[in-house]
Amino acid sequence: MFGLSSKDTRFLLIVVFLTLATPILLQPFPEGSSLAQFNAGYPDLMQKFAIFGIFAIGFNILFGLTGYLSFGHAAFLGVGSYTVVWMYKLLGYNVLPGLVLAVIVSALFALLIGFISLRRSGIYFSILTLAFAQMSYNLAYSVLTPITNGETGLQVYSNDPQILMGENSPTSPHLFGIVMRESTQFEVGGWLFTLNNGYYFCAVIAILAFYLSLRIFRSPFGMMLRAIKTNQTRMNYTGLNSRPYTLAAFVISGMYAGLAGGLLAAMDPLAGAERMQWTASGEVVLMTILGGAGTLMGPVLGAGFIKYFENIFSKINDGVLHAWFAFLPDGLEDLVVALIHPFVGKGWHLTLGILFMLVVIFLPGGLVEGGQRIARLFRSKKTKTAGPGGRNRDHQPKPAPHVAE
């Protein structure tokens, strides 16, 4: 189905189901219970899951598949956001023209940056992309203020032309009248579920983005990208020019980033230069590596994981900790809380950094590889009982390093 093998179709259907059921699945604790703060099923966070999932899927096509580590992808995110807000200002609050234009503009931008940066590879490529992104960020803050509105950030004012705005048009982002920020809530028992228009809009786009990346992974083009990652020199020796392929991968991932940036502005009609800063580029690198570079599902998992951390883990304060460990004797309770305190709440970055280091050191394939290893552990026990036909590691092809040097 959909031009996929039956295994991939099943995979895709599972992803579609999980994405559409997110508002229910992420709300496992009843309202009012002490664990309700771990519910992630509120619109703002779910939208971020979907949007940064798209961003990471796109980044993975460049880094995971082709092996080029870009440290400047946030520039495209910013370009996408600015484009969408400009379309609000000129045309009106319908998100569609803005999003289409955001993808086109970021593609052009990526074509320009990619054409120059891809002349080099390895760490030089990383530094070149970093330099371009920092340049865009600095310019957006200073000289380009007429376009970007500098530090204030770009937003819609009441005296903007908005030529497509009718009498009854909604005054916040919408898609042909479906207002993004509106949602329906329903209650089952103690559970409260929120179905948000904006989230479902992002989710549908994210599913399409995921489907496209699945097709790229399975296509001859994807095979070519993998060949570039494995050994570019050898590819050149066989007489293939790898430049068009890398450039195509760069532009595609730039378009994904532009789309994600556009969606950020579609959920909240604002765009600021800080979206282009290199720490934002670093964040998408973290997401992709944490989840598992080069795998289909990994980057999405990583994006969800980091956004969940950022929004939920950072809310755990000392009061919550005391409530959890109240069953311990007083002295011990204070000690445990004091020990955990640096790692939660405002210190969530520390936990994230440690976790990231552990993943890079011990699990180069990310969370997905971790899951696979656990799965293999169970399976290998079965094969061992079956007979001596188990896998012998020495006789397996060695896994390629997950990034070309």
Partner 1 sequence: MDAILLQILNGLDKGSAYALIALGLTLIFGTLGVVNFAHGALFMIGAFCAVTMQRILGLSFSQVDPTKTDFLGNPLKVQVPYVESWFGPEVGGAIIDWSVPIAIVMAIPVMIALGFAMERGLIKHFYKRPHADQILVTFGLAIVLQEIVKYFFGANPIQTGAPDMFAGSFDFGVLMGFDPNVIIYPYWRMVYFLFALVIIGGVFAFLQFTTFGMVVRAGMADRETVGLLGIDIDRRFTIMFGLAAAVAGLAGVMYTPILSPNYHMGMDFLVLSFVVVVVGGMGSLPGAVLAGFLLGILQSFASMNEIKSIIPGIDQVIIYLIAIVILLTRPRGLMGRKGVMED
Residues that bind partner 1 (CB under 8 A): 67, 69, 116, 119-124, 126-128, 130-132, 134-135, 138-139, 141-144, 278-279, 282, 285, 289, 342, 347, 349-350, 352-354, 356-357, 360-361, 364, 401-405
Q: Could you give phi then psi for residue 93, rounded to 5 degrees?
A: -85, 5
Furthest C-alpha separation in the chain? 77
For the range 35-42, what are the long-range contacts, defined as Cβ-Cβ under 8 Å and sequence gap of 24 or more? 37/312, 37/315, 37/316, 37/320, 38/312, 40/308, 40/311, 40/312, 41/193, 41/194, 42/194
Q: Minimum Å distance from CB 126 to partner 1?
A: 7
Q: Least separation, in Å, of the C-beta of 64 and partner 1?
A: 11
Contact 284, 350 (CB under 8 A): no
CB nearer partner 1, residue 55 or residue 125: 125
Sign of CA pseudo-dihedral 350, 353, 357, 363: positive
HSE-up of residue 114 (Cα within 13 Å, Cβ side): 24
Min separation Cβ 246 and partner 1, Å: 12
Nearer to partner 1, 346 or 379 (CB): 346
Q: How far is the CB of 403 from partner 1 (least distance, A)?
A: 4
> Residue 234 contacts by C-beta under 8 Å, 6 or more apart in sequence?
none
Q: Which is nearer to partner 1, 160 or 274 (CB)?
A: 274
For partner 1, the closer of residues 21 and 360 by Cβ is: 360
- Nearest distance, CB of residue 122 and partner 1, angstroms: 6
**For residues 126 and 197, which CB has a smaller minimum distance to partner 1 in the complex?**
126
CB-wise, 170 or 364, nearer to partner 1?
Answer: 364
Taking the complex as a whole, the smallest distance from the CB of residue 355 to partner 1 amounts, in Å, to 9
Q: What are phi and psi of 391, to 5 degrees?
A: -75, 135
First to last CA, the chain: 37
Q: Which is nearer to partner 1, 25 or 123 (CB)?
A: 123
We find the least distance from the C-beta atom of residue 255 to partner 1, in angstroms, to be 23
Burial code (b: 16+ CB inside 10 Å, e: under 16) for 224-247 equals: bbbbbbeebeebeeeeeebeebbb
